[in-house]
């Protein structure tokens, strides 16, 4: 799978005249990749909504959505490892078509006489086949930047790309639940799952067939050594996984607790609209991360912005009005975007040789697992103890994000392997390289 541009020009990286990322991706790459990742953010909430409507049990609905997260946790990283070994195209095509059909089938099954056990099994398989578009997109783009752009353009392109990718993830995790609520309330509770299935089959297939999926690494022709799986257990990388799991828990706990609060107000259908307020500041600040000075190190950004999330969430249980919630969420959103960008940037820098897709998939899976668990736990507590108790849970998730940031700071001081001097992945990372990148 040789790169088309290479085969046509035969030029070395230093001889290639184009210096822009879009030269290699093409005009339509980013819209395709954005829409292709949208169903990933819809499936947990879509399953929750459909099951509540069809089976009339919030606790069983929470368990069903948790099974989606469990499936993603178990198999998601294996999909990433398979993509590292066999290429993204075949993995995405198989996962995308299977997942799309399962989403449509679940919409029928949950409204049938099928047993609860069978419903849980299908929910689990939906999670196992969820296409990891976001992580694979990051892997493609980072590879292009690190291996094909001129050295003078790498740092700026890397920072801008990681900022955009994290903003895109943040946006879909806001827009996805909003679309689920809109379609479910205006048409039928099963429609979001059918829509997600159709989008998956169409756009994940388009993403899989995009030429960037076959852009082979210059180090991949069977000559480069692939790091062993045990290298993924590096303490610094584990801290990043735990931190991004905390962000996923925050997403799930926040949306579900907002739903409980708005239900008390008699307008549960407006929960998605209130939740969307958080996405405005989050996406904007995520994009602005590319403009941050290098002296504002990655580990410092993690602690600063995650602390802002924690401070905002601590006010939620005391919300006496929708206005209070909106103000708190606007402040929280300022912290969410930069935190995600920082975590993905560090994760990219810590990726062992030949394991970049695996690492990015683990991080992407951690978000959906956290969202599933957060939704299930918060739903159960909200149903039993009320919306005030539910609104206290996002601060617990935010605390986990902060603690993971502290842990990463500790391991960075002790010498964490990473990337090159700007945080770009390398095949043989060194301690001093990551220190120069600002991650230490």
pTM over 0.85: no
Who's near 129: CB < 8 A, 6+ residues apart? 71, 75, 95, 98, 99, 102
**Structure confidence by residue, pLDDT tens digits, 389-414:** 999 999 999 999 999 999 998 877 66
Q: Which two tokens stand for residue 84?
A: 């590292």
Q: Round to whole Å and give the CA distance between 103 and 42.
A: 10
pLDDT of residue 383: 80
Quick one: pLDDT at residue 9? 37
**Residues present in the chain in total:** 440
Q: How far out from the chain centre does Cα 256 lie?
A: 18
- The reported pLDDT for the residue numbered 94 is 95
Note whether 357 and 88 are within 8 A (CB). Answer: yes
pLDDT value, residue 427: 37
On whether the CB atoms of residues 216 and 143 are closer than 8 A, the answer is: no
The separation between CA 231 and the C-alpha centre of its own chain, rounded to angstroms, equals: 22
As given in the structure block, the two tokens for residue 134 are 């976001």
As a whole number, the mean pLDDT across the chain is 80
* SS3 category, 293: coil
Tell me the average confidence (pLDDT) per consecutive run of 10 residues in the chain, 440 residues long.
40 49 86 92 85 78 83 83 84 95 95 93 94 86 81 78 77 78 84 95 94 66 59 81 94 85 74 75 73 84 94 91 89 88 84 74 83 84 87 95 93 53 37 41
- Both tokens assigned to 162: 């990681």
Give residue limits of the domains in the chain.
Answer: 28-216+231-437
Q: Go through 286-308 and write b for each residue having 16 or more CB atoms within 10 A of its CB, e for each that does not.
A: bbebbebeeeebbbbbbbebbbb
Please state, in angstroms and as integers, the Cα–Cα distance from residue 250 to each residue in 45, 92, 401, following that order: 14, 28, 9
Whole-number Å distance between alpha carbons of 20 and 148: 9
DSSP letter, residue 204: I
Q: Which fold has domain 28-216+231-437?
A: Growth Hormone; Chain: A; (1.20.1250)
437: buried, middle or exposed (CB in 10 Å: 19+, 13-18, 0-12)? buried
The 10s digit of each residue's pLDDT in 216-234 is 555 444 445 666 666 676 7
Nearest to 134 by CA among 94, 172, 100: 172
CA distances from 69 to 108, 125, 434 (A): 21, 10, 32
pLDDT at 187: 85
Q: Is 285 helix (H, G, I), strand (E, B) or coil?
A: helix
**pLDDT for res 234:** 78
Crossing angle of helices 393-415 and 298-313, in 10° steps, is 160
pLDDT at 216: 56
Percent helix / strand / coil, the chain, rounded to 5: 80, 0, 20
């Amino acid at each position: 799978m040789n790169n088309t541009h290479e085969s046509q020009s035969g030029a070395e990286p230093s001889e290639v005249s184009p210096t822009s990322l879009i030269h290699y991706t093409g005009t339509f790459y980013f819209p395709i990749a954005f829409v292709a990742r949208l169903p990933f953010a819809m499936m947990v909430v879509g399953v929750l909504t459909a099951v509540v409507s069809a089976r009339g049990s919030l606790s069983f609905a929470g368990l069903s959505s948790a099974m989606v997260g469990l499936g993603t946790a178990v198999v998601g990283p294996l999909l990433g490892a398979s993509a590292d070994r066999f290429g993204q195209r075949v993995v995405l095509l198989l996962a995308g078509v299977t997942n799309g059909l399962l989403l449509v089938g679940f919409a029928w099954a949950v409204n049938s006489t099928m047993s609860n056990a069978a419903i849980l099994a299908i929910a689990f398989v939906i999670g196992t086949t969820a296409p990891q578009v976001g992580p694979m997109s990051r892997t493609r783009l980072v590879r292009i930047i690190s291996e094909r752009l001129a050295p003078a353009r790498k740092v700026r392109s890397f920072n801008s790309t990681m900022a955009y990718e994290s903003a895109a993830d943040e946006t879909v995790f806001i827009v996805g639940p909003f679309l689920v609520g809109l379609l479910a309330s205006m048409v039928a509770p099963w429609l979001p799952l059918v829509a997600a299935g159709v989008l998956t089959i169409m756009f994940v297939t388009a993403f899989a067939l995009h030429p960037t999926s076959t852009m082979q690494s210059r180090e991949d022709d069977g000559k480069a050594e692939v790091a062993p799986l045990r290298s993924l257990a590096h303490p610094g990388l584990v801290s990043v996984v735990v931190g991004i799991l905390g962000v996923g828990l925050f997403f799930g706990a926040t949306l579900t607790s907002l739903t409980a609060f708005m239900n008390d107000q008699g307008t549960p259908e407006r929960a998605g609209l209130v939740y969307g307020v958080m996405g405005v500041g989050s996406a904007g600040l995520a994009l602005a991360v590319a403009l941050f000075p290098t002296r504002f190190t990655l580990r410092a950004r993690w602690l600063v912005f995650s602390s802002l999330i924690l401070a905002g969430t601590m006010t939620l249980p005391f919300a006496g009005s929708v206005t209070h919630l909106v103000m708190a969420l606007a402040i929280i959103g300022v912290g969410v975007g930069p935190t995600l960008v920082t975590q993905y940037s560090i994760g990219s820098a810590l990726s062992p040789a030949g394991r970049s897709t695996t690492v990015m998939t683990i991080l992407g899976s951690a978000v959906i697992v956290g969202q599933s668990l957060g939704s299930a736990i918060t739903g159960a507590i909200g149903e039993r103890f009320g919306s005030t108790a539910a609104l206290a849970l996002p601060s617990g998730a935010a605390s986990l994000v902060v603690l993971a940031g502290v842990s990463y700071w500790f391991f960075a001081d002790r010498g964490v392997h990473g990337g090159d001097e700007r945080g770009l992945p390398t095949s043989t990372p060194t301690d001093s390289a990551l220190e120069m990148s600002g991650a230490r």
